[in-house]
A and B are shown apart, each in its own frame.
Chain A
C-alpha cells in the first residue's frame, strides 16, 4: 500500500472548505475522534508522530500519548488538559476541513462559543453509557445560540454498550427533542466508536441496524454554503480605494467582504446609516470584473454617484435595507475575566464599525445546562450568557443574528485596555423558545419575565 500516493490524490482533488467545531469533554473521547479523523485522512505526519513518541518516552510513558499531538502549549501538557481552541486541518477527496478543536470543560464555555462562531457544523459527543448529560445540553445550547446550521450528535463508545440500537435510539431521541426545542435546524445522530473506528470513517460492521452516513461521509456531503435566495445582501465597507494616479485619476472603489446574500451590477442600493441611495456601477472580484458577487467573496464595488462613504458604512439593496438603531437587545456570552456590569461604558464593534455604547440593562442570565434563567443579575462574569440592553452613541445597521450571523453579531470591548469583553448576538436567543417568549411578552409584557 502506498499511503503517500493516496494522500496526494485526496488532497489535490478536494474542492470546497467546511469549517466545523467539536464539543465534548475529554472523557467523551473527543481527542480520539479528532485523532482518528486526522489519522485516517493521513494528516498526521511522520515527524509529528516521532516527536510525540520521543516526548512520551521522555516522560517515562510506554505508549505514545496522542494528546501530545494536539495539546500545543506547555501548560496544557503539564496539566494534561486542553485549555484553548486549536485549529486543525485535514482533507479528503471531496472536501477540505478546518476543525475548531474546542475544550469541553464547563469553565471554557467561551471557547466553544469562539469555535462555534465560525462553524457551519458542530459535532457534539456523548458517551453512550451516560446518555444526555448537563454537558450535552450545554453544548446543544451553545450550538443553537450561535446558530450553527448543522449539528451532529455522535453517540460514542457504542462498543461499551454492545452496539445496542435501543441505547442509541433513546439518546438520539432525547437529544433531538431538546435541540429541536432550541431551534437547531438540522440534527444528524450517528452511533460511533471513535476508539474502534465504527462509523467514523468506515461504516461499522457491528451496527447493521444503522443505515445513515459515517461521521466523515456526513462532513463531506453537508452543504457548505447557504442558499442565497433567502439572504438579503449586506456589504460592510472596509476600506475606500482611491489610487489617485495618472492611470486611475477618479477611481473610487469600496472594498469589503460581502457579509450575506449577493450583489448585482445595476442594483439600487442604500448606504447606511446616512440613507443615501445610488446604483452599483461595477463589481471587481480581486482582479476580475463581474456582474454578480456573493458572500463571502471579498470585492470592490463602485457606485454611479459620488457619495461620502467611508469605513463602517453598510451598503445594502434599497428594497431590503436594514433600519438603523441605537438600541440593541441581544444575548451575549461574556468572554473576559473582568465582569460586565449595568451602566458600564464599552465599545461595540459591529462589522467594520466601532461605536461607543453603554450597557443599559442586564435583564437576565441563563444557565445553559437547563436553560433556567436568573433575573437582573446586575453583572455577567466569565463564561456567563445573558440578555443585555445596549444603547449606542451612533446608529448601527444591525440585523437579527437569526437572519445573518455576520451582520447580527458584535463584540463588546473595554475602551480602557482593549479587552474583548463579550460576544453579542442581536435579537432573540433561541429560535423556538424565543418565539414562545415573544408570544408570552404579547400577552403579559413583563420586563423581568423569562425571555429565553
Chain B
C-alpha cells in the first residue's frame, strides 16, 4: 500500500493527518473552490514568504496543469531589490502573468501624496483597490493569517468586500463547515485567505518540508542598518537615515518582507531554514511586533486599514 501522508504516532489513528498535511489540504481546497466559482481570481504576490507559500500551494493544487490565476504585486517603490529579483524569477519560471500596481506612479501622477512620516504601506490601499477594479478581479488571494493580529483573528476565509473594497467586520457572513459562500454583486469582490489557519511557525516548517526557495534577505547576512523607533531599518532613498541616526553594519535577517520604510530587520545568525525555525520558535515577539512599524500606530491600526480595503 502506498500512501502519501505523514502518518503520525501516538494517540491518533493511522488515518490522522499531520498538522502540516491538514493545513495543506485545507489551503488547496480553498484554491480549488475559488478556481471553480470565480471568473477572474488573482493572487496578491509581494515576494514575501506568505505569498510564496500561497503560490507553491496553488502550483500543487492544479498540477500538472498551470495555475489558473494571475499575480498582482502592489509595488510601494520602496521594495527590497532582492525581493523584486525573486519575484521576476518566479514569474518567469512558472510562466505566470504578473500585474504591478505602483505606488510611485500614483505619487508621480499626483493621485497620492507622500506621508510626512515617509511610510508607504498605508499608501498601498488606493493602488490595490483601483487595480482590482481596473482588472475586474472578483477574487483576490491574500496571505493574511489569523495568528498575525487580533483583528485578523476575526477574518473569514472568504471575505466579501464592497465596491469600495471595504471590510465591515459586523456584516461578515458566518462561515460554516467548509462551505465557502463566494456570491457577490458586480463591482464587489471577495478576499480569500487560504493561509488563515497557519501560524508563522507552520509557514516556516512547511517551507522547510517542501524546500521552497526564498529571497535571501530572510536569512542572516551582514547589512548596513540604522535604528528608528526601536527597529533596524535599511538606509535608502526612501528617507533614511536622518542626521541623528547612525548607520552600522550588523548581522541581521528579515522576518517579514514589506516596504523598506516600515519593515525592520532582526538581529540573527540564522543562515539556514533549520536555524530560522529554531529562532522563530524561541522568539517571544510576534513577527509584526518585531518588525512592523505601521501596526504600532494605534490599537486598531490593522482593523482600520482593513476597513479601508487593505489586507
Measured CB to CB, the residues of A under 8 A from B are: 3-5, 7-8, 11-12, 14-17, 45-48, 51, 55, 58, 69-75, 77, 83-89, 91, 94-96, 98, 110-111, 113-114, 117-118, 220-221, 223-228, 238-239, 241-245, 247-248, 251, 255-257, 262, 285-294, 296-298, 311, 335, 347, 349, 351-352, 405-406, 409-411, 413, 417-420, 423
Contacts and interface: CB of A to CB of B under 8 A. Distances in A.
A227 B14 CA distance: 9
Chief secondary structure at chain A's binding surface: mixed
A17 B183 contact: no
B179 A286 contact: no
B176 A311 contact: no
B92 interface: no
B109 interface: no
A410 B181 CA distance: 11
Nearest to B29: A257
A243 B66 contact: yes
Interface stretch (B99-107, B112-120, B133-141, B148-156): B148-156
Given A71-B150, A73-B303, A352-B33, A290 B4 contact: yes
B22 A296 contact: yes
A17 B9 contact: no
Nearest to A285: B4
A84 B153 CA distance: 10
A133 B175 CA distance: 28
Contacts of A96: 19, 202
Contacts of A262: 15
A294 B28 contact: no
A114 to B, nearest CB: 4
A236 B26 CA distance: 14
A117 B177 contact: yes
A8 B284 CA distance: 10
A175 to B, nearest CB: 25
B13 interface: yes
Given A15-B8, A85-B154, A297 B290 contact: no
Interface string B254-275: 0000000000000000000000
Contact of B285 (A46, A95, A226, A423): A46
Interface in B14-58: 15-19, 21-26, 28-29, 32-33, 35-36
Given A118-B177, A243-B65, A411-B181, A286 B4 contact: yes
A98 B289 CA distance: 22
Contacts of B2: 289-292
Interface string B55-68: 00000111111100
Contacts of A247: 64
23 contacts: A3-B284, A7-B282, A45-B289, A48-B286, A48-B289, A55-B299, A69-B150, A73-B303, A87-B153, A96-B19, A225-B17, A238-B33, A238-B36, A244-B65, A255-B32, A255-B61, A262-B15, A286-B24, A286-B61, A351-B179, A411-B176, A413-B181, A417-B185
A98 B146 CA distance: 11
A21 to B, nearest CB: 12
Interface of B: 1-5, 8-13, 15-19, 21-26, 28-29, 32-33, 35-36, 60-66, 146-147, 149-154, 160, 169-170, 172-179, 181, 183-185, 196-197, 199, 201-202, 205, 277-278, 281-286, 288-290, 299-300, 303
A286 B3 contact: no
Nearest to A49: B284
Contacts of B284: 3-4, 45-46
Contacts of A77: 299
B149 to A, nearest CB: 8
Given A45-B284, A51-B299, A84 B177 contact: no
Contact of B61 (A83, A117, A248, A298): A298
B115 to A, nearest CB: 23
Contact of B4 (A15, A17, A48, A289): A289
A110 B173 CA distance: 11
Across the A-B interface, give the 9 residue pairs with the lowest CB-CB distance, nearest first: A47-B289, A418-B183, A8-B281, A72-B150, A285-B4, A288-B4, A243-B65, A298-B28, A17-B19
A86 B154 contact: yes
Contacts of A58: 299
B29 A238 contact: yes
A410 to B, nearest CB: 7
Given A7-B281, A411-B179, A74 B300 contact: yes
B311 to A, nearest CB: 15
